A = this chain, B = another copy of it.
């Protein structure tokens, strides 16, 4: 259910944003495309907004949350897999040797994801994710990961929906890792979550249908995969897109290439005190080419330190 905002109230819809170019650009864009009869008006049905997840809507440092889940899952399953004591990447994970783990490269990463994310039904996997998220805590903030959504971005999502946008997540993360909690945390229902997938297979188990998660990559929703997935799942080009890294560049280019009013935004992590500061040299969430292109083309670059009054929700108190 959308809460209609009159234009005069629009500025109050983003209380955690400092007044500045980024906030003004957002409000100007939304005003433009929702002003009936205006030159930039866009019908409600075409108001598609897509958001990257890790580093755009919630914290991705010091490790992607889903990667932490995978490591924990390996530790849980280890007693049933004595061979993991000597086989990589599991041996390094169990020893807590992160450097040796990283040295196993993409091959190790795929084996880790398959061992932790496949070989169960979709319903079983959903339970694993829910149970893990209920217990896991972020190492620095000592809170559940789902409390580490960025308050200004939650307000932005709600502001767009109040103006009849349909908000989507388009993430490199696994779609079934996100869907159990995106509705509660972001107000984004499962059918508006697009992400990477493993292949699944329909089976009758004791005469009851089940979808088995297979140890085989179906689709990686990153970089040039993002516009491909947007087209496949939504079938409309977004008019508004937000990311935080080079993995979002093609999504932003695809959004920008449409006719009429467009908005492209990047979250730039500049705030080591309240969150993290990283960009061109980070292995997680590297922001390099996209930052150059954003400056060249006048896309909105959010400077976390300058543009956000607070990073996290009320429960953080003043340090958020």
Count copies of this chain in the complex.
2
A193 at interface, CB cutoff 8 A: yes
Of all chain B residues, which has the CB nearest A218? B232
Q: Indicate if the CB atoms of B236 and A190 lie closer than 8 Å.
A: yes
Quick one: which of B48, B166, B257 contacts A209, CB cutoff 8 A? B257
A201 at interface, CB cutoff 8 A: yes
Q: Closest approach, in angstroms, between the C-beta of A35 and any C-beta of chain B?
A: 20
A254 at interface, CB cutoff 8 A: yes
- Annotate A149-189 by CB proximity to B: 1 below 8 A, 0 otherwise: 00000000000000000100000000110010001000001
Q: Closest approach, in angstroms, between the C-beta of A276 and any C-beta of chain B?
A: 29
Of all chain B residues, which has the CB nearest A232? B197
Of all chain B residues, which has the CB nearest A227? B202
Quick one: which of B179, B208, B209, B228 contacts A202, CB cutoff 8 A? B228
Q: Indicate if the CB atoms of A175 and B235 lie closer than 8 Å.
A: yes
Q: Indicate if the CB atoms of B224 and A202 lie closer than 8 Å.
A: yes
Of all chain B residues, which has the CB nearest A253? B209
Q: Indicate if the CB atoms of A254 and B201 lie closer than 8 Å.
A: no
Chain B residue numbers with a CB within 8 Å of A236 are: 190-191
Chain B residue numbers with a CB within 8 Å of A254 are: 202, 209
Q: Indicate if the CB atoms of A191 and B166 lie closer than 8 Å.
A: yes
Q: Indicate if the CB atoms of B202 and A250 lie closer than 8 Å.
A: yes
Cα(A168)–Cα(B209), bound, Å: 21
Q: Closest approach, in angstroms, between the C-beta of A34 and any C-beta of chain B?
A: 16
Chain B residue numbers with a CB within 8 Å of A225 are: 202
Within 8 A of B (CB), among A232-290: 232-236, 250, 253-254, 257
Question: Which residues of A approach B to under 8 Å, CB–CB?
Answer: 45, 48, 122, 166, 175-176, 179, 183, 189-191, 193, 197, 200-202, 204, 208-209, 211, 218, 224-225, 227-228, 231-236, 250, 253-254, 257
